[in-house]
Every structure is written in structure tokens, then in C-alpha cells.
């Protein structure tokens, strides 16, 4: 498979197209971490995703961009169990999977971070990191009295945060609501990075954040990638997308308008493809 940018220099104005992007031949699903083939997701008469193919390769950051209603979130939900696709196939490491709930996907090693800052504000950082998969103490205190290993979880939460370079937060017993929006999102991203074994999905992780905090989250994405975990980033924000992505999947009107790379196209071209001002030349 090839994502090599096209050398075609046809001017957009003349042709209404930009260079070759989407590979004509789909990747062999044994090479990908995750693949979707012919995914369809409808809501009554509304078509959310209409026969879309998508690939995520090892170690890459794949961005999914698109206008509101283009089907980017629906596509990701159909891939990660939040929605059950009406048709199509999902392959994880080359094997077909059928996620019925987000928990199934989590169980398979896929972690998702949502834009809504999905943390419990009154609980502390360590409690949030391990929320839903708390560890018990060793011995009868854990097995009989079912006591939590608070100390161990606190230590591991601190290590995870430090590994990702989140040094601004020192005290794992700090309630999450006392953190800034960026720090809260950092907790959610750190949680995902700690527990994901296949890949991490970030759904508009910076939508609620300021410029500086957004920079912190982008740093985290690079950190995750550096650890060898692939990332799917859903975003509206072109500069962010072009800063961190290896490839960019452009969702449009429930379909895929093409897959580009930050090297093959400019953000302006990406927006043009996204909005339908130009179409990606298929070759």
C-alpha cells in the first residue's frame, strides 16, 4: 500500500482537484492495527457512514477530519463499539472483531478519550486513572475485605503521569476538579495511554481547551506515538492535525473524501477537500 504523495502539480483552480491521495488498493488487513471495510451506519433514514474503508497502521497518528455531520465521530464509534455498524467489517490485528459495547473495545486494548473531559471531578487523580479497573490489595485484605490498593495505584498513577512528561501535576491525591482543563484532559489521556495495548482514540481532545493546554495535549500525542502506540485523532483543528498526524482521513457527507498526508497537501487544500470545494483526484 502506498500513501506517497502525488507529484501531480495540476492547479486546483484549473482542475478542481488536488493530488492523488487515497490509495486505490486497500491495505491487507494483516498489516494494519485496525481496519474498517465497507462500514455503514444509519440512524433511521439518516445515513451517518456510507460504506467507508479505513486503516490504522502500527505506530502512526491517523487524524480523522471532516465538517460537522461528515460522519467522523460516527465512523469512530462504529469502530470502537459505541455503535454497532449496520454493515461492514472491522478487523483488529487482522482478525475480524464484533464490538457490541465500548467495554468490548476496551477489553481488546482500545482506549478512547472524549472531548467532554470524562473524569469524575470530586475524585482524585489516582482514583480517576484507575476508575473502573481498581486494583485490590494483596492478601486477605484485598481478597476477603476487598480493600483497594490505594497506595500502589497512587504510585503507578504518578509514574504514568511522569512517563508522559506531565510534570505539572505532582500530587496524585489532588481532586481532579482543582486542575485546569488541560491538566484534566492530561489525566484522561494518561489513563488511555496507560491501559491501551492496541491504540488510543482521541475524540476532539482539545475542543474544550485553550492554546497552551492544547499544546500540552499535542505533546502527549507525540509521547504516546513515541511509545509505539498508534493514535486516532478526531479533530476540527487543522493546525493541530497537520502538526501531529502521519496521515489524514477526510470524512465528507458520510463517505471518505480521501486520505492525505501533511506532506502531500496543505491545510488549505485539506479544508477544500473537506468542504467539497475541490475533490481529491482518484488514480
Partner 1 sequence: MTTTVEPPAPASAAEQFAMRQQSPIQRIQHVLHAHPSISPLMVLIVSIIAFTIINPRFIQPGTIGIILQQVAVIAALAIGQTLIILTAGIDLSVGAIAILSSLLMANFAVKNGMPGILALVLGILAGVVAGAINGTLVTRLKLPPFIVTLGTFSIFTAIALLYSGGQEVGRRQLPPILNWAGTRIQLGPFRITTGVIIVAILAIVMAFILSQSSWGRHVYAVGNDAEAARLVGIRVDRVLFSVYTVAGLIYGITAWVQIGRAGTASANAIVDANLDSITAVVIGGTSLFGGRGAIIGTILGALIVGVFRTGLSLAGVDDQWRVFAIGVLVIVAVSIDQWIRKVKA
Point out which residues pair with 259 in neighbouring strands: 249
* Interface region with partner 1, contact rule CB under 8 A, candidates 38-46, 48-56, 140-148, 233-241: 140-148
Q: Does 151 bind partner 1 (CB under 8 A)?
A: no
Smallest distance, partner 1 to C-beta of residue 201, A: 12
Identify the residue among 79, 127, 221, 273 touching partner 1 (CB under 8 A): 127
Between 45 and 212, whose beta carbon lies closer to partner 1? 212
Rounded-to-integer distance, Cα 247 and Cα 56, Å: 9
Map the footprint of partner 1 across residues 66-125, applying CB under 8 A: 102-103, 106, 112, 114, 116-123
Between 4 and 178, whose beta carbon lies closer to partner 1? 178
Smallest distance, partner 1 to C-beta of residue 191, A: 8
Phi, then psi, of 71 in degrees rounded to 5: 100, 15
* Interface region with partner 1, contact rule CB under 8 A, candidates 142-150, 236-244, 258-266, 270-278: 142-150
Span between the terminal Cα atoms of the chain, in Å: 14
Q: Does 207 bind partner 1 (CB under 8 A)?
A: no
Rounded-to-integer distance, Cα 279 and Cα 75, Å: 21
Residue pair 267/242 in contact (Cβ under 8 Å)? The answer is yes
Between 1 and 145, whose beta carbon lies closer to partner 1? 145
Distance of CA 113 to the CA centre of its chain: 7
Smallest distance, partner 1 to C-beta of residue 102, A: 7
* Interface region with partner 1, contact rule CB under 8 A, candidates 56-64, 171-179, 241-249, 270-278: 171-179
Residue 277 DSSP code: S
Between 97 and 147, whose beta carbon lies closer to partner 1? 147
Smallest distance, partner 1 to C-beta of residue 160, A: 15
Rounded-to-integer distance, Cα 71 and Cα 104, Å: 22
Identify the residue among 6, 12, 180, 194 touching partner 1 (CB under 8 A): 180
Q: 122 Cβ partners below 8 Å, 6+ apart?
A: 175, 176, 177
Point out which residues pair with 61 in neighbouring strands: 231
Q: Does 201 bind partner 1 (CB under 8 A)?
A: no
Question: Burial, 145: exposed, middle or buried (Cβ in 10 Å; 0-12, 13-18, 19+)?
Answer: exposed
Alpha carbon dihedral 161, 167, 172, 177, in 10-degree steps, equals -100
Identify the residue among 15, 134, 155, 170 touching partner 1 (CB under 8 A): 134
Sign (positive or negative) of CA dihedral 109, 235, 281, 5:
negative
Site residues (CB under 8 A) for partner 1? 102-103, 106, 112, 114, 116-123, 127, 131-134, 136, 145-148, 175, 177-180, 183, 191
Amino acid at each position: 500500500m502506498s500513501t506517497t504523495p502525488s507529484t501531480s502539480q495540476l492547479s486546483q483552480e484549473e482542475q478542481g482537484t488536488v493530488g492523488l491521495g487515497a490509495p486505490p488498493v486497500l491495505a491487507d488487513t494483516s498489516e494494519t492495527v485496525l481496519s474498517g471495510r465497507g462500514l455503514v451506519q444509519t440512524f433511521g433514514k439518516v445515513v451517518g457512514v456510507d460504506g467507508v474503508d479505513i486503516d490504522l497502521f502500527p505506530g502512526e497518528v491517523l487524524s480523522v477530519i471532516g465538517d460537522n455531520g461528515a460522519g467522523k465521530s460516527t465512523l469512530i464509534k462504529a469502530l470502537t463499539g459505541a455503535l454497532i455498524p449496520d454493515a461492514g467489517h472491522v478487523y483488529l490485528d487482522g482478525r475480524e472483531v464484533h464490538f457490541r459495547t465500548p467495554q468490548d473495545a476496551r477489553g481488546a486494548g482500545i482506549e478512547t478519550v472524549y472531548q467532554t473531559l470524562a473524569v469524575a471531578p470530586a475524585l482524585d487523580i489516582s482514583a480517576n486513572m484507575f476508575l473502573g479497573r481498581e486494583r485490590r490489595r494483596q492478601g486477605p485484605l484485598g481478597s476477603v475485605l476487598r480493600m483497594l490498593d490505594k497506595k500502589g495505584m497512587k504510585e503507578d498513577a504518578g509514574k504514568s503521569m511522569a512517563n508522559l512528561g506531565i510534570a505539572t501535576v505532582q500530587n496524585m491525591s489532588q481532586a481532579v476538579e482543582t486542575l485546569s482543563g488541560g491538566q484534566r484532559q492530561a489525566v484522561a489521556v494518561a489513563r488511555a495511554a496507560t491501559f491501551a495495548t492496541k491504540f488510543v482514540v482521541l475524540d476532539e481532545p482539545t475542543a474544550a481547551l485553550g492554546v497552551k493546554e492544547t499544546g500540552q495535549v499535542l505533546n502527549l500525542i507525540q509521547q504516546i506515538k513515541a511509545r509505539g502506540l498508534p493514535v486516532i485523532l478526531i479533530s476540527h483543528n487543522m493546525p493541530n492535525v497537520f502538526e501531529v498526524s502521519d496521515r489524514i482521513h477526510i470524512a465528507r457527507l458520510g463517505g471518505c473524501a480521501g486520505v492525505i498526508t501533511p506532506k502531500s497537501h496543505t491545510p488549505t487544500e485539506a479544508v477544500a477537500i473537506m468542504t467539497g470545494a475541490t475533490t481529491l483526484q482518484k488514480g
